[in-house]
Amino acid sequence: MLDALKKAFGGSDETHSPSGKKGDISREKSAELYEKARQYFPGGVNSPVRAFKSVHGTPLFIERGDGCFLWDADGNQFIDFCCSWGPLILGHNHPKIREKVTKALEKGLSFGAPTALENELAELILKHNKYIDKLRFVSSGTEAVMSAIRLARGYTGRDKIIKFEGCYHGHSDSLLVKAGSGLVTFGETSSAGVPKAFADETIVIPLNDKQAVHAAFSQFQGKIAAIIIEGVPANNGLLIQDHDYIHFLRSITKENGSLLIFDEVITGFRLGFEGAAAYYDVHPDIITYGKIIGGGMPVGAYGASAELMSHISPDGGVYQAGTLSGNPVAMAAGIAQLTELKGSGFYKNLNQKTFQFVEAIQRYATAKNYKVWIFNIGSIFWFAFTDKEAIRTAGDIDHNSMEYYKVFHRELLNRGVYLGPSGYEVGFVSAAHNKTELEKAKRAVFESLDEVFRHK
Ligand SMILES: *Cc1c(COP(=O)(O)O)cnc(C)c1O
């Protein structure tokens, strides 16, 4: 089907009929690379969502990025709103990051011993973050969260954790758990290979439901080590929670001697330098970071009070380690990126331009009576093909609406705009998205929405 279309349109990006219909971009080179990749990797990829299973066509193989632009192997250019799933808040190939990384790598790639760069990044973070006193660097968000959970269990001497349906916390065993049936249940594993005994320690409840939290605490009194929640749930749509609900989680955990873990792998350094903790003005016990913290390199971190962190080895009995933890090249990228974020007005500008972008699209969609809402917080946005004005739980998402996203995604690619290849994923605006490009992207979105709703 794709091949036929490709031939019919000759792969030209410029095919443009009066109706605004665009031909499909050429994916010949990407398709070739994907064929090869399928011989090497399960599904042809090293992380599942990259396989384009929920959208049209072959996954695009990326050749390079610069600013807000991406180029694929066929030479197609895109304005990128995926931004490597969030880390690239300054856009691709930022000169300051490139410079700092180059300097670091001239001195060697890894030592497995402390370096001054680790201090530099830690100081930059801790000096400007009133929620944590100490932190530990790891190499991914998954590791950060896995370690935070271990710390919570080690500290409280309890095994059970509460997580919310629709929140993603990486792929460690305890957290690959989805809701079972009923309001308060033990979770069911959401992946083969996760022992049932692990899932039994994870209680999964719906977001935005105080009753469910009360019920869990009364059913498992004295057994719950922690509640973990994404700063703003942004891995299964954008499920923005009320201030009141977040503060409720803070007080109920305190009352029950449990910890509150904020998974800020997306929201950390995104909603503001101090992330969702500052946004909600709430003080979690442990905070995890990832994505932005490494400036595009593999870095994660978890942090807490000095007292809590004293339980981590070698100071305390909770073991956690990493051969490449605090890697100097990765630290350099993080330092360069976070330094830019400290610039005055950085977040105000970024959030404002995101809001204006989203608002213009919403206005257009509403005027045309299109059934789509664009949810937005800070520089994060999410297209929901729904008529619901508020979506706060995983259960609020209409799975059939993903068919709209599928068409939308292809139409956008054909117009030079790259969004994450799944309707459950959010988009990100970076500092590199300037007025001209956002204007172009907006037009592409208008036309693509027209195509999506053409037959409605
Ligand atoms: C991406 C993400 C993770 C996992 O991070 P990886 O670096 O992919 O392991 C964990 N939690 C949240 C909230 C995330 O968005």
Q: Which CATH number fits the domain that encloses residue 220? A: 3.40.640.10
**Location of structure tokens 């605090």:** 326
Say yes or no: CB of residue 167 within 6 Å of ligand 1: no
238 lines ligand 1 (CB under 6 A): no
Whether residue 175 contacts residue 187, with contact meaning beta carbons closer than 8 Å, is answered with no
Q: Is 263 a catalytic residue?
A: yes
Q: Quote the CA–CA distance of 252 and 255 in Å, as a whole number.
A: 5
pLDDT digits (tens, 9 = 90+) for 241-255: 999 999 999 999 999
Determine whether the shortest distance from the Cβ of 263 to ligand 1 is under 6 A.
yes
Whole-prediction pTM:
0.94
Distance 266 CA to ligand 1 centre (A): 7
Q: Note whether 299 and 293 are within 8 A (CB).
A: yes
Domain span at 356: 2-92+346-452
One-letter amino acid of 191? S
Q: With a 6 A CB cut-off, is 235 part of the ligand 1 pocket?
A: yes
Tell me: the pLDDT tens digits for 335-380?
999 999 999 999 999 999 999 999 999 999 999 999 999 999 999 9
Specify whether 159 is located in the same domain as 17: no
> How far is residue 49's CA from residue 294's CA, in Å, rounded to a whole number?
21
Q: Percentage of the chain with pLDDT > 70?
A: 94
266 lines ligand 1 (CB under 6 A): yes
Check pocket membership of 142 for ligand 1, CB cut-off 6 A: yes
Top mutation candidate among 147, 265, 266 for ligand 1, by most atoms within 8 Å of CB: 265
Ligand 1: does its nearest atom lie under 6 Å from the Cβ of 140? yes
139 lines ligand 1 (CB under 6 A): no
Residues 151 and 210 in one domain: yes
**Closest among 274, 332, 337, 323 to 303, alpha carbons compared:** 274
Mean pLDDT of the chain: 94
Asked if residue 271 and residue 418 are part of one domain, the reply reads no
Q: Which of 341, 369, 387 is the last residue of a domain?
A: 341
Regarding whether 160 and 102 lie in a shared domain, the answer is yes
Same domain, 38 and 131: no
With a 6 Å cutoff on the Cβ, whether 264 touches ligand 1 is no
Determine if ligand 1 sits within 6 Å of the CB of residue 230.
yes
pLDDT digits (tens, 9 = 90+) for 12-71: 433 444 456 789 999 999 999 999 999 999 999 999 999 999 999 999 999 999 999 999
Kindly give the number of the ligand 1 atom that is closest to the alpha carbon of 290. Answer: 7
* Number of domains, the chain: 2
Claim to verify: residue 419 and residue 358 sit in the same structural domain = yes
The active-site residue, picked from 291, 302, 405, 418, is: 291
- Cα of 3 vs centre of ligand 1, distance in Å, is 35
Domain boundary among 341, 372, 404: 341
336 vs 255: CA distance, rounded Å: 41
> Whose CA is closest to 354, among 339, 336, 374?
374
pLDDT digits (tens, 9 = 90+) for 312-321: 999 999 999 9
Task: Kindly tell me if the per-residue pLDDT of 417 is higher than 90.
Answer: yes
281 is catalytic: no
Helical H segments across 368-434, by residue range: 402-414
Measured CA to CA, the distance from residue 203 to residue 216 in angstroms comes to: 8
Q: Are residues 250 and 155 in the same domain?
A: yes
pLDDT tens, position by position, 79-133: 999 999 999 999 999 999 999 999 999 999 999 999 999 999 999 999 999 999 9
DSSP states of 233-263 as a string?
--SSS--PPPHHHHHHHHHHHHHTT-EEEEE
Residue 37: which residues within 8 A CB-CB, separation 6 or more?
Answer: 44, 45
Whether residues 274 and 413 share a domain: the answer is no
Catalytic residue among 263, 280, 289, 404: 263
Please tell me the predicted confidence (pLDDT) of residue 180.
66
What was the pLDDT predicted at 8?
37
Q: Domain check: are 278 and 299 in the same one?
A: yes
**Which atom of ligand 1 lies nearest, measured to the CA of 231?**
13
Best residue among 291, 292, 422 to mutate for probing ligand 1's pocket (most ligand atoms within 8 Å of CB) is: 291
Give the DSSP letter string of 210-232.
HHHHHHHHHHTTTTEEEEEEESS
| CATH value at residue 8 | 3.90.1150.10
| Whether residue 353 is found in the same domain as residue 265 | no
Our measurement of the distance from residue 1's CA atom to the centroid of its chain's CA atoms, rounded to an integer in Å, reads 32
% the chain with pLDDT above 90: 90
Reading phi first (left if > 0) and then psi (alpha if -120 to 50, else beta), residue 207 is in: beta
Q: Do residues 198 and 322 share a domain?
A: yes
Query: Is residue 55 lining ligand 1, measured as CB closer than 6 Å?
Result: no
- Sheet bearing 134-138, strands edge to edge: 134-138, 300-304, 286-289, 259-263, 224-230, 160-164, 202-205, 185-186
Residue nearest to atom 14 of ligand 1 (CA): 265
406 and 264 fall within a common domain: no
291 is catalytic: yes
Choose, from 34, 131, 155, 168, the residue flagged as catalytic.
168
Query: φ, ψ for residue 447 (rounded to 5)?
Result: -60, -40
Task: For residue 405, report the distance from its CA to the centre of ligand 1, in Å.
Answer: 23
* Ligand 1 centroid – CA 285 distance (Å): 19
Determine the distance separating the centroid of ligand 1 and the alpha carbon of 239, expressed in angstroms.
16
Report which DSSP code applies to 357: H
Testing ligand 1's pocket by substitution, the residue of 50, 88, 169, 302 carrying the most ligand atoms inside 8 A of its CB is: 169
Decide which of 321, 341, 361 is a domain's last residue.
341
Contact 104, 443 (CB under 8 A): no
